[in-house]
A and B are shown apart, each in its own frame.
Chain A
Amino acid sequence: MNEMIRSLESKLGLSTVGGIDCDLHPASPATKTLLPYLDEYWRETFVMRGVDRLSLAMTSSPPRAPINVRSDWKAESGFAGDTLEAVRAQALDPFGTRLAICNVLHGAMIMHSDDMAAALCGAANEWLAREWLDREPRLRGSIIVSAQNAELAVAEIERRAADHRFVQVLILAQNDEPLGRRRYWPIYEAAARNHLPLCIHAGGSNRHAPTATGWPSYFVESYVAQASIFESQLLSLVAEGVFQKVPDLKVVFAESGFTWLPSFFWRADKTWRGVRAETPWLTEQPSDIVKRHVRFTLQPIEAPPDQDALARTLEHIDCDDILLFSTDYPHAQFEGLNALPVAFGETLAKKILIDNPLATYPRIAADF
């Protein structure tokens, strides 16, 4: 009987009504769609060069892979989330979502040419504002930038910051260098200055193999490897002293998973105790820094079906503030509406759904 109840419970989630969805993906716009939002030089040369006919879909996030398109959300086009109607009907209404943050995963973020990347990111942000945020009051946006050129990224952040429907800055997890490095600091300063958390989302530029032993043969292998990339990024941000340099910075890891956090904390803290001399600016242990500055979106929940294990893991993390509700629509991370497993319990669920996002996103809190 207990078995059956447990099995039933795992199929039912807690209510998500009134929640703030911190990771929702409208389908990335075709390059042609962005032409009206580009200046004359780019419009002209893109047409001349045939760039407007190119899809900038990313290998790290293949648009048709089953994990990226839940089968019941798949449109005739084979993609998902490509119309506002679909997003309302599939992502907002059924979950009772009060607000959702749109994270557009666009290849603009990884182009090699600094200027082209910046131009396309700017166009994509403008597109999001005009064609999504203007039309649906429940939606909020992330300012996408290419981390490769900090100066241009900062310019875009400053440009977009005046529109308060943009609530965070978005970059991808894998770049040229680990994100703690000083070349990226101006981006963090600009984000913090404008009360915008920095969201680091799964995916990347393939400037390097996703693993230290080379290129995985299979997408599933690469996807799993993302967790290691996130761990490296987390430690880089901490070790390089980003949070000492920019104490107001909040970072959100999106689609990173979080059940690896306890072992990360244990190992990072232990190592730090032994090698403190190398990084004298770190006057407290890494786990405390992370708990203060870093948040994690809920999906994917990489845990066994046994709800006890998930509950224990949450205990190990020992930080009720750390998780932010997300559906990761239209990625296939859960079945039906079961986005919030019962293991969280009602109290924690409310924090995850509402309080933690409000505490993380000042611009959303101002609206609420």
Chain B
Amino acid sequence: MVDTAVARQRSVLSQLGAIDCDVHPDAPQRSDLLPYFDDYWKEIVTTRDVDRLELTNFPTRTKPFFREDWKAAEGRGVEKLRRNLLDPFGLKYAILNCVTGVHAIYDPYLAAAVCRATNDWLKAEWLDRDPRLRASLVLPMQNPEAAVEEIERFANDRRFVQVLALCMGEMPLGRRYYWPIYEAAQRHGFSLGVHAGSAYRHAPSQSGFLSYLAEDYVHQVQGFAAQVGSFVAEGVLGKFPDMKIVLIESGVSWLPGQMWRMSKDWRGARIEVPWVKEPPSALVRRQIRMTTQPFDAPSDPAELERIIEHLDADDMLLFSTDYPHAQFEGDAAIPDGFPERLIDRLARENALATYPRLEERP
């Protein structure tokens, strides 16, 4: 039964030419990045042993996070990605999201330098090697001036389609402090990707740090929810109407509850935020998008459709595998029970509408 479903998935997927909106390249080590630093930073990262930048909150070595079969496959880098993902899934494009410890660095200049090197590495070692690959620009959110410079630096390389931030950083992302970044992003057609992960500037919960990784991972939802609340309340959605905001690896099913609640609260609390002129749920539907893995849903596939109905936005969901994380078995990347009528939107159309830079010639 399962095999048939899997086989059906595979044939469905390979016909779709899907766009995978959340793929993780191997985390770059210092040896990978060294060629891309200038002399000063080369010396710094070497003598000060800046290496293995990995978030405690998003670890790269945790066994249960990764699929065994993908890990064990032969090859490395792009070759391995082709073998595991691009070819068997028949993907049209895959968007690479590099989530590393750079987001947690305190030194704003070191953070900017590592981001620059990471983006250069993404371009040379990945984008240049397979025409199906696209990527998010890793931005030093700790240093908005440098982040804007980085956006300008890659503005003409249309294979970079999005700018990336974590769902839990220093300040809620809606704050005006970050607006110069969104202004530059919107001007050049970049979407804003908010990815699961915390820089641990603050404890992930209101009661402090969590005992277990499983518990910590559950809390990512709160980060996403805080960001959506911030984008709405601070007026980012109205101020940057052409910039789509993609919530990556968030779990999906938590959003309807928030839309209901914020819209209800807005009726009573509007005078505090007079620039929010429409109900939050309308604003969210217009500009917020979500990738589909993981999809926190009940085990009964019939219920999945109800959740999607609650979202009430056919253009909101974006196909993703979250490769190489273990979010599904076999090729069952499309959540079980996903409505047929929305498959094409999920696989391609929504992504094309979300990422203006996607279809342009690089």
Contacts and interface: CB of A to CB of B under 8 A. Distances in A.
Chain A directly contacts chain B within the complex, with at least one CB pair under 8 Å: yes
A149 B143 contact: no
Q: How large is the interface on A (under 10, 10 to 19, 20 to 34, 35 or more residues)?
A: 10 to 19
B171 A149 contact: no
A183 B108 CA distance: 11
Interface in A115-133: none
A48 B270 CA distance: 12
A41 B145 CA distance: 33
A114 B175 CA distance: 9
A140 B145 CA distance: 37
Interface string B43-57: 010011000000000
A49 B170 CA distance: 30
A114 B176 contact: yes
B271 A48 contact: yes
B177 interface: yes
B108 A182 contact: yes
A149 B176 contact: yes
Interface string A260-298: 000000000000000001100000000000000000000
Interface in A88-118: 113-114
Contacts of A176: 170-171
Contacts of B171: 176
- For chain A, what secondary structure do more than half of its interface residues adopt (helix, strand, loop), or is it mixed? helix
Interface in B130-164: 143, 145
B171 to A, nearest CB: 7
Nearest to B143: A182
B145 A177 contact: no
A45 B271 contact: yes
A151 interface: yes
B182 to A, nearest CB: 15
A48 B274 CA distance: 15
Contacts of B274: 41
Interface in B25-53: 44, 47-48
Given A151-B176, A182-B143, A177 B44 contact: no
Contacts of B47: 277
A183 B141 CA distance: 12
A47 to B, nearest CB: 11
Contacts of B170: 176-177
Interface string B166-194: 00001100011100000000000000000
Contacts of A183: 177
A182 B145 contact: yes
Contacts of A151: 176
Contacts of B177: 149, 183
A183 B181 CA distance: 14
Contacts of B44: 277-278
B170 to A, nearest CB: 7
Interface string A283-323: 00000000000000000000000000000000000000000
B143 to A, nearest CB: 7
Contacts of A182: 108, 143, 145
Interface of A: 41, 45, 48-49, 113-114, 149, 151, 176-177, 181-183, 277-278
Given A113-B272, A176-B170, 7 more contacts: A45-B271, A114-B175, A114-B176, A149-B176, A177-B170, A181-B108, A182-B143
Q: Closest 9 interchain pairs by CB? A: A45-B271, A183-B177, A182-B108, A149-B176, A48-B271, A114-B176, A182-B143, A151-B176, A277-B44
16 contacts: A45-B271, A48-B271, A49-B271, A114-B176, A149-B176, A149-B177, A151-B176, A177-B170, A181-B108, A182-B108, A182-B143, A183-B177, A277-B44, A277-B47, A278-B44, A278-B48
